[in-house]
């Protein structure tokens, strides 16, 4: 379906943070825009706010003043819904209330023609439910922008039960014409991003609650080893714990208490204490004046004569790590693997990439005296930190040897208490698992899921492409080990991930 023409009128209802931003996007794409808000003067303030934002760009030399005038001239405040009658598309961004949204759409149906497309920017309400009771529910869909709308690329185009395919296609093409990255999703709790991202916060909170490491250490690992723009704790502090906790609760309740979405008592306590993050001055971190900034717990530099690094078996996922060791001047010896798994040996010490078992369990299973597990990195070539955990048989000397090895490669070394799946691997496996379930349940395609996570949250890789790269068999094994370690449903592998792993196929062929 073609996109709407730039001459088509776009109406935006609600001139708050989202509505004003969406109106700006449509006006910048060339459309005449009508902005309505039921608060006296709010629509004009919204337009003034857009002018202010655009003039900041002029001041930075990124836009011409003439362009600002052209864009602003396209935006008109509308005092009533009746003034939106000739709009081709209406985007609603008012208060998050099902009842109020239903009323507004019912009134819109009575003033707009049958060809007008009606959309809601809701982030938590069901599109199916908003459309129920309308005369033309097939003309209503979700258009979920992210904050700030002029900056964030992702738009989730949400189809409710009744939404016509061609309506969703037109919205998709229109969002694309506006320079956005649209994805299709069916109306299910959390849609794509707010659902698939839950483990990013949940696994961090869980690791912290279990005393695996401090928030500053976990954040540093997800940034420096995982390649995420921000770690979960700094991100939750930025979003606000009240908001993040409310989203988690609503997804948890909407999925009838599925433990995969279980909210954290640690976060609940922060909300109860009013430590909402940056906006209140305190969250996981202290933002008050004079407060000391928290630093990751990295090992002090260790000097040690490193024996040759023996690599047993096909290096597979850790091949770039071996290359980095070679480039750092270490002597590398390659041997056949007896266990079938790639392992590194350094003197009497065995080192291996985590597979979801803790070091204690894996050392027992594999009959190893001293085992150090290391975490997954997005790219072992460029990672600047890594998490390690030791089995009880690792003495002080072996501990130092493992530290010295990774320090020699230029990495900060963070020792965790012995925890299954460490940090990055566990987070990525759970993100991929959630993504796989969303695909299994027809919420979105694998391609749209990955696009959404990258465009909406700046993830360094789509979770499914990441899982493909690691090998679905390995990701499935990791999840099974996590489930075994905790004995919890929370870590159960998605059936789709299991089937793909068994079939030896990928999400992205």
Nearest approach, Cβ of 111 to ligand NAI (angstroms)? 14
**For tokens 């258009």, what's the residue?**
143
Nearest approach, Cβ of 120 to ligand NAI (angstroms)? 7
Question: 205: burial class by Cβ within 10 Å (0-12, 13-18, 19+)?
Answer: buried
Nearest approach, Cβ of 199 to ligand NAI (angstroms)? 20
d(CA 121, CA 93) in angstroms, rounded, equals: 5
Nearest approach, Cβ of 18 to ligand NAI (angstroms)? 3
Q: 146 or 285: whose CB is closer to ligand NAI?
A: 146
Q: 14 or 420: whose CB is closer to ligand NAI?
A: 14
| Catalytic site residue from 31, 36, 144, 241 | 144
**Using CB under 6 A as the criterion, which residues of the chain lie in contact with ligand NAI when the complex forms?**
13-19, 37-39, 42, 93-96, 100, 104, 121-123, 145-147
Query: What phi and psi, each to the nearest 5 degrees, are found at residue 69?
Result: -60, -40
Please, which residues have CB within 8 angstroms of residue 373's CB and are 6 or more apart in sequence?
351, 352, 353, 354, 358, 359, 362, 388, 389, 390, 422
Within a 10 A sphere around the Cβ of 289, how many other Cβ atoms? Answer: 6
Cis peptide before 85 (omega within 30 of 0): no
Nearest approach, Cβ of 466 to ligand NAI (angstroms)? 25
Q: 122 or 248: whose CB is closer to ligand NAI?
A: 122
| Known catalytic residue at 412 | no
| Catalytic site residue from 120, 123, 354, 433 | 123
Nearest to 406 by CA among 313, 295, 301: 301
d(CA 105, CA 135) in angstroms, rounded, equals: 10
Nearest approach, Cβ of 393 to ligand NAI (angstroms)? 50
3-state per-residue secondary structure call for 376-402: CCCCCCCCCEEEEEECCCCCHHHHHHH
| Known catalytic residue at 144 | yes
**For tokens 């002080």, what's the residue?**
396
| Catalytic site residue from 186, 187, 194, 244 | 194
The 3-state DSSP class for residue 271 equals helix
Q: 49 or 460: whose CB is closer to ligand NAI?
A: 49
| Catalytic site residue from 92, 109, 156, 434 | 156
The 3-state DSSP class for residue 36 equals strand
Helical axes 446-457 vs 463-470, angle rounded to 10°: 120
Q: How many CA atoms lie within 13 A of 114 on its CB side?
A: 4
Please, which residues have CB within 8 angstroms of residue 24's CB and are 6 or more apart in sequence?
50, 53, 54, 71, 75, 149, 150
Nearest approach, Cβ of 254 to ligand NAI (angstroms)? 14
Q: Please give the positions annotated as active site.
A: 123, 144, 156, 194
């Amino acid at each position: 379906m073609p996109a709407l023409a730039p001459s088509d009128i776009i109406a935006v209802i609600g001139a708050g943070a989202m509505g004003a931003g969406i109106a700006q996007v449509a006006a910048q794409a060339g459309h005449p825009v009508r902005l309505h808000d039921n608060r006296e003067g709010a629509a004009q303030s919204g337009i003034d706010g857009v002018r202010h934002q655009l003039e900041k760009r002029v001041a930075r030399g990124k836009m011409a003043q003439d362009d600002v005038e052209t864009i602003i001239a396209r935006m008109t405040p509308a005092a009533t819904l009746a003034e939106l009658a000739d709009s081709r598309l209406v985007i609603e961004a008012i208060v998050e209330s099902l009842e109020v949204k239903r009323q507004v759409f019912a009134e819109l149906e009575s003033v707009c023609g049958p060809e007008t497309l009606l959309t809601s920017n809701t982030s938590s309400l069901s599109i199916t439910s908003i459309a129920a009771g309308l005369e033309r529910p097939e003309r209503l869909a979700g258009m979920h922008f992210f904050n700030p709308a002029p900056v964030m690329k992702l738009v989730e185009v949400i189809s409710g039960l009744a939404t016509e395919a061609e309506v969703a296609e037109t919205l998709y093409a229109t969002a694309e014409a506006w320079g956005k990255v649209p994805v299709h999703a069916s109306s299910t709790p959390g849609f794509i991003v707010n659902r698939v991202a839950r483990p990013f916060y949940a696994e961090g909170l869980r690791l912290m609650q279990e005393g695996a490491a401090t928030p500053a250490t976990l954040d540093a690992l997800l940034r420096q080893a995982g390649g995420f723009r921000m770690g979960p704790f700094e991100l939750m502090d930025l979003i606000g714990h009240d908001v993040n906790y409310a989203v988690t609760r609503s997804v948890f309740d909407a999925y009838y208490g599925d433990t995969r979405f279980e909210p954290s008592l640690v976060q609940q306590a922060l909300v109860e204490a009013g430590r909402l993050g940056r906006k209140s001055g305190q969250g996981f971190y202290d933002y008050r004046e004079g407060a000391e900034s928290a630093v990751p717990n990295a090992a002090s530099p260790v000097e040690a004569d490193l024996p040759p690094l023996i690599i047993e078996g096909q290096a597979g996922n850790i091949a770039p790590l071996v290359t980095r060791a070679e480039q750092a001047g270490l002597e590398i010896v390659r041997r056949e693997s007896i266990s079938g798994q790639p392992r590194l040996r350094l003197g009497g010490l065995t080192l291996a990439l985590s597979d979801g078992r803790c070091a204690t369990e894996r050392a027992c299973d594999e009959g190893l005296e001293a085992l150090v597990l290391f975490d997954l990195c997005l790219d072992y070539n460029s990672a600047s930190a890594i998490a390690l955990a030791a089995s009880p048989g690792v003495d002080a000397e072996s501990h130092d040897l493992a530290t010295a090895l990774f320090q020699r490669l230029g990495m900060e070394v963070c020792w965790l208490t012995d925890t299954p799946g460490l940090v990055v691997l566990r987070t990525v496996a759970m993100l991929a698992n959630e993504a796989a379930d969303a695909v299994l349940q027809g919420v979105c395609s694998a391609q749209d899921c990955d696009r959404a996570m990258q465009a909406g949250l700046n993830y360094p890789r789509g979770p499914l492409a990441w899982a493909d790269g690691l090998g679905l068999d390995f990701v499935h094994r990791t999840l099974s080990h996590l489930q075994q370690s905790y004995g919890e449903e929370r870590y159960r592998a998605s059936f789709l991930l299991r089937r793909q792993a068994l079939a030896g196929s990928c999400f992205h062929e």
